[in-house]
Structure 1
Amino acid sequence: MDDDREPSVNISGGDAGGGVAAEFDPATAETRAERVIDRLGERYWQKTYGGQNAFPCLVRTILSQNTSDKASQPAYDALLERYGSADDSSASSESSPDLANALAQAEQSTLAETIQPAGLYNQKSETLIDVAEWVLEEFGSGVAFDEFVTDEEPSAVRDTLLSVRGVGPKTADCVLLFAGGRGGVFPVDTHVHRIYRRLGIAPPDADHEDVRAVLERDVPTEKCGFGHTASIQFGREFCTARQPACLEDPDACPMGDLCDQVGVYPATGEVVDPADALE
């Protein structure tokens, strides 16, 4: 897009994080989920992702676990300043081994202090060291890991990543999307999990993997990437956990006509998890 407003302070890295503008025709939408994604794309951005180095992307995603991008970004910047090089977050894979080697040899308490803004810094520092050691033992270098993520079958990459302690489905899917550039991958974080159950697109009691299955089934491959990042932005601005925009004004939300408001009760001001709306 000519006016790409995607923030740099998110896991995708904004304009500098890789990827190219994507084009789509909203008139071709076949499912309600696709109509939602099209509207989000028109409001925010449309981008086909890929191009990040796999190991730095994995590091950045681990830092983002259970916290906001605004908290994890300073931690990632501090980590790169201490352990990485200027090119570790670029599309050049030549620098990936530098960060993997540095983290594999890092002193845990020093790393924990470095990434403190991200929260859970003791746990995350241990995970980062373990993951760096795993990359070097399993692949020999960050470059080889990058090639694995880019070239192997997505299901094999995902299964391999999920076998590593501290790497969950959202983390694995973000690496596939932002580093591997794999279409049809729709990572599910807390925002995505909430939004698509509240909309009524996924079942109210669906877990993260159930929501992912619904979205990857109903959203075309080329729209899953920006669908993920734009949904997160929508969740931050409109469909928040405790005070969604529709609670006080039904016209305040750009998805009002597409939403079932599962768990949201404007008449009483009550907001519950969609799963609790079943009770």
Structure 2
Amino acid sequence: MAEDEPVENISGGQAGGGRVDEFAPGDGTARAEAVVDRLGDLYWQKTYGGQDAFECLVRTILSQNTSDKASQPAHDDLMARYGEGGEAHRDGDLAVSLAAADRETLAEIIASAGLYNQKSETIVRIAGRVVEEYGGADAFDAFVREEEYDAVRDALLDMKGVGPKTADCVLLFAGGRGGVFPVDTHVHRIYRRMGIAPADADHERVRQVLEAEIPAEKCGFGHTASIQFGREYCSARKPACLDDPEACPMADLCEQVGVYPETGEVVDPADAD
């Protein structure tokens, strides 16, 4: 385990429902799996699942277009008011509480997450839909855990404000579904830069490539560890390899698509020569 592993990570970790799991390296025949195996030497290994599905959905909406550092306080403040023990908690149910929330008040509470007007509107609307269609948070949680994968993903994507990454995070961190590799901006950049996914691939195409090449039991860990790798080594503007090819632990597995150490230029892989 890396010494700088975050104590809390919105995408997983012990507090997020993950449990420590043994990590079994593969045979190295798929480069995508080789990358995830090497990430296993750098970061923690977890098996995912265990989060409440509706709270996970709310948490992931708050994290859209912002960092964990900004969205975590917003989530904590939201739960303090609308969660169990909060003054706006209703009928023992977070979805019921948020469906009845005053949108402007909610926007003020989650302001640290950014885009708070849009996110508050989305959360209130989706909470109302969860109450109307499932009866509340507990029934929605059971639906996410027990129904067929395609049915759950389709239902989530049918909710306005829920995109593929948000849906996949709920399936992974609440549903504990194997073989789900959510693609955020870090994952989208890293695997195109490495040449594992096509340079012009959209988020869905990158997801398809990774889920096809990486064993199901490694997808959850691969997602979380890739985000950490993107923050520490493979950043958008100044990847570690730009100044020193050997500074990156993935140097021998990466094609550096869009990274030009000789000129110091870094472009989106889709714009690379």
Contact 1:216 1:224 (8 Å CA) reproduced: yes
- Residue 217 of structure 1 is matched in structure 2 by 212
Indicate whether 1:83 and 2:82 are aligned.
yes
Contact 1:75 1:118 (8 Å CA) reproduced: yes
Deviation at 1:28, TM superposition (A): 2.4
Indicate whether 1:104 and 2:99 are aligned.
yes
Give the whole-Å Cα distance in 2 for the aligned partners of 1:115 and 1:102: 15
* Deviating 4+ runs (over 4 angstroms): 3-6
Deviation at 1:73, TM superposition (A): 0.4
AA at the equivalent of 2:16: G
- Residue 135 of structure 1 is matched in structure 2 by 130
- Residue 10 of structure 1 is matched in structure 2 by 9
Q: Secondary structure at the match of 1:251?
A: helix
Aligned residues: 270
Deviation at 1:49, TM superposition (A): 0.1
| Structure-2-length-normalised TM-score | 0.95
Deviation at 1:97, TM superposition (A): 5.4
* 1:172-219 CA-partner distances (Å, limit 9, x unpaired): 000000000000000000000000000000000000000000000000
- Residue 252 of structure 1 is matched in structure 2 by 247
- Residue 270 of structure 1 is matched in structure 2 by 265
Contact 2:50 2:174 (8 Å CA) reproduced: yes
CA-based RMSD:
1.8
Q: Among all aligned residue pairs of Structure 1 and Structure 2, give the percentage whose two residues are the same amino acid.
A: 71
User: 1:185-200 alignment to 2 at 5 Å?
Assistant: 185-200=180-195
Contact 2:26 2:37 (8 Å CA) reproduced: no
2:233 corresponds, among 231, 238, 250, to 238
**For structure 1, which segment, 11-20 or 232-241, has the greater mean C-alpha deviation from structure 2 after superposition?**
11-20
Contact 1:72 1:118 (8 Å CA) reproduced: yes
Give the whole-Å Cα distance in 2 for the aligned partners of 1:261 and 1:237: 16
Contact 1:7 1:13 (8 Å CA) reproduced: no
Give the whole-Å Cα distance in 1 for the aligned partners of 2:62 and 2:254: 32
Give the whole-Å Cα distance in 2 for the aligned partners of 1:60 and 1:266: 38
* 1:207-242 CA-partner distances (Å, limit 9, x unpaired): 000000000000000000000000000000000000
- Residue 229 of structure 1 is matched in structure 2 by 224
User: 1:64-213 alignment to 2 at 5 Å?
Assistant: 64-85=63-84, 98-213=93-208
Alignment gaps of 5+ in structure 1 = 88-94
| Structure-1-length-normalised TM-score | 0.93
Deviation at 1:160, TM superposition (A): 0.5
Give the whole-Å Cα distance in 2 for the aligned partners of 1:152 and 1:168: 19
Q: Secondary structure at the match of 2:93?
A: helix
Deviation at 1:6, TM superposition (A): 4.5
Give the whole-Å Cα distance in 2 for the aligned partners of 1:41 and 1:160: 33
Give the whole-Å Cα distance in 2 for the aligned partners of 1:110 and 1:119: 15
